[in-house]
Amino acid sequence: MGTKFRTMLAPINRSTGDGRRFATDSISVADTPFPFEWVRERQGGHDGAVAVGVVQQAAVMSVGKAIDQGFISPEAANRLGLDHSAMGVFGQGELFDDADRETMPQLAEDVATVLHLADQGILGPSVDLDSFEAVPVEVGSDVPVTWDRMMEAEDKGEELKLELLITAGRVRAGTLVTIPAFVETSAPLELVKSEGDATEATAEQTAALVASIATATWTPDATMFEPEPLTGLTEVTYDWERGKVFGHIAPHGTCHVGFRDTCVTPPVDPTGAYARMHRYPVETADGGIVWAGRLSVGGRHPELNLTASQAVAQYEGKTTAAHIVVREDAFGFSINGPINPALTEGERLVLERRTATGERPVSGDWREYPEGLSMIDVLALSPGPRQHSEPGFPVTTYVRNGRQVALTASFGLGALATKATSPAELQAAIRATMRAENERERALAALREAVNVDKAARAAEARAALAAEIESGSGAAARECEKEG
């Protein structure tokens, strides 16, 4: 059994340091268990998060009720200055410090680091949401700010203080960070250790764990890489009994809805063999070698402005959920390969989770090489804001000097949901998004007006022609009118 923890995951109706706020009655909690993660390094948002535990119970309640039910101690609540009537999201669960260090060295090292940092009081939790909805408001208000209000303030020389009010969202994961968005969750992670629990790894133990990562492997049967006899588009499927993953990560010809006026489809591999993807020699049970790629799990795609080598380096820090071979068949882009038998319960939960639309969120990553855009990894997306946690196509792209240089098959929401890390950045994102939406609405209104004018003009022409025929007493239309009286 691992170390138990309890904590407030997020307060309700309290502003974050970067200008966000959960509205009252806006947040729900997904069914437990769900992942408890840790962000190894600050990449923006919760990018790079890896599972280090599991949230076994979670609920939205008052601080007083959370104390009564054991979700937080009175001492922690007092230390953080929490009013007992204040609302919040609370969770309790277990860290994976009971993981076998021989078979899961990376997980053991991660949890040992988390335990040490939490014991020093420098880790606090945040949350990852799905079904995310938000509106821009003035600070302290629940009324959405309008473009007219922004223009009025600008004309008067006023500077509106804006924040993003989250009006709907479901907590799908808790994530430990060094700088939580909410002051109330700065360092409330309470560890509840029982006698005989393991303590943090020493420097020598950590070094040994790092050294052992290279030797941690498994030898699958070569047939695991062979394609399944699929008769149509098939969602990514985890056959735990056989230990194999298979299915399609994208269909042929799917349009990227992030582009309004064009259709960007998944790139066909320029090498014809996914050579950039299949860069790992996997030894099989019969003594042979299969060159394969990885299905990774943990966090989100690396930033789209990174080079191919930088992005590959970041994927190397994620957990290998499976070794896979990518192929193009009659239906789309398929994967086949053996599942890593050392996956944790939390990592399996990430693989098995579904989005609000019922899809398993698996997303390819293509980067620029001399021969063109080449796939380098496939990622099982962790829970979180919609632009990072839902599968493509839709996709988000990055364009440099007019050419596409990166493509990840995950959802995109635009400037309002990007990684603003300060109130100024968030307010700039809100203004930019509202300006773009206003321009779009004006363009649509102009188009509707033009269509209406055209319809009116054509109707007037038809009426004039009909009147002329009736007046002359000739023509089929006039005769039909006379028959009808």
**Distances 481 to 458, 461, 466, 474, 475 between C-alpha atoms, Å:** 20, 18, 10, 11, 10
Same domain, 162 and 242: no
Note the helical H segments in 87-187.
105-119, 147-155
Report which of residues 213 and 104 the model is more confident about.
Answer: 104
Q: How confident is the model at residue 271 (pLDDT cuts 50, 70, 90)?
A: confident
Q: Is residue 422 part of a domain?
A: no
Using the predicted structure, report yes or no on whether residue 140 has a pLDDT greater than 50.
yes
Q: Is residue 227 part of a domain?
A: yes
Least confident of 150-164, 320-334, 353-367, 433-447: 433-447
Using the predicted structure, report yes or no on whether residue 70 has a pLDDT greater than 50.
yes
Using the predicted structure, report yes or no on whether residue 234 has a pLDDT greater than 80.
yes
Least confident of 7-21, 315-329, 431-445: 431-445
- Which residues 6+ apart lie within 8 Å of 443 measured at CB? none
Tell me 84's DSSP state.
T
Distance CA(3)–CA(184), nearest Å, equals 23
Least confident of 30-34, 58-62, 456-460, 472-476: 472-476
Same domain, 300 and 439: no
pLDDT at position 473: 60
Distance of CA 484 to the CA centre of its chain: 65
Distance CA(140)–CA(13), nearest Å, equals 9
Report which of residues 45 and 170 the model is more confident about.
Answer: 170
Report which of residues 180 and 93 the model is more confident about.
Answer: 93
Using the predicted structure, report yes or no on whether residue 306 has a pLDDT greater than 50.
yes
**Distances 300 to 186, 361, 364 between C-alpha atoms, Å:** 23, 11, 11
pTM for this one?
Answer: 0.46
Same domain, 159 and 244: no
Same domain, 199 and 221: no
Q: Is residue 123 part of a domain?
A: yes
- Half-sphere exposure (CA, 13 Å, Cβ side) for 300? 28
Report which of residues 384 and 249 the model is more confident about.
Answer: 249
pLDDT at position 110: 87
Please give the average per-residue pLDDT across 175-194, as a whole number: 66
Please give the average per-residue pLDDT across 450-460, as a whole number: 70
Using the predicted structure, report yes or no on whether residue 12 has a pLDDT greater than 80.
yes
Report which of residues 317 and 64 the model is more confident about.
Answer: 64
Please give the average per-residue pLDDT across 350-379, as a whole number: 80
Using the predicted structure, report yes or no on whether residue 350 has a pLDDT greater than 80.
yes
Report which of residues 294 and 190 the model is more confident about.
Answer: 294
Q: Is residue 423 part of a domain?
A: no
Same domain, 142 and 229: no
- Which residues 6+ apart lie within 8 Å of 120 measured at CB? none
pLDDT at position 69: 92
| Cα angle 65-68-72, degrees, rounded to a multiple of 5 | 85
Q: How confident is the model at residue 202 (pLDDT cuts 50, 70, 90)?
A: very low
Same domain, 148 and 196: yes
pLDDT at position 182: 57
| Contact assessment for residue 251 and residue 331, using Cβ atoms and an 8 Å cutoff | yes
Same domain, 67 and 129: yes
Q: How many domains does the chain have?
A: 3
Q: By residue range, what is the domain housing residue 439?
A: 430-483
Same domain, 76 and 100: yes
Domain end point (choices 367, 386, 417): 417
- Which residues 6+ apart lie within 8 Å of 2 measured at CB? 53, 94, 95, 96, 97, 98, 99, 111
Distance CA(106)–CA(212), nearest Å, equals 9
Q: Is residue 196 part of a domain?
A: yes
Q: What percent of the chain has pLDDT over 90?
A: 16
Same domain, 192 and 231: no
pLDDT at position 255: 57
- Half-sphere exposure (CA, 13 Å, Cβ side) for 439? 6
Q: Is 375 left (phi over 0), alpha (psi -120 to 50) or beta?
A: beta
Which residues on neighbouring strands pair with residue 175, listed in sequence order?
37, 126
pLDDT at position 195: 44
Domain end point (choices 366, 394, 417): 417
Domain end point (choices 181, 210, 239): 210
Same domain, 164 and 253: no
Distance CA(254)–CA(331), nearest Å, equals 11
Q: Is residue 425 part of a domain?
A: no
Q: How confident is the model at residue 426 (pLDDT cuts 50, 70, 90)?
A: low
Distance CA(235)–CA(362), nearest Å, equals 9
Please give the average per-residue pLDDT across 147-160, as a whole number: 84
Q: Is residue 83 part of a domain?
A: yes
Please give the average per-residue pLDDT across 442-466, as a whole number: 70
Please give the average per-residue pLDDT across 141-167, as a whole number: 84
- 33: preceding bond cis by omega (within 30 degrees): yes
Same domain, 227 and 201: no
Q: Which residues of 385-404 are buried (b: 16+ CB within 10 A; e: fewer)?
A: bbbbbbbbbbbbbeeeeeeb
Same domain, 143 and 247: no
Q: Is residue 198 part of a domain?
A: yes
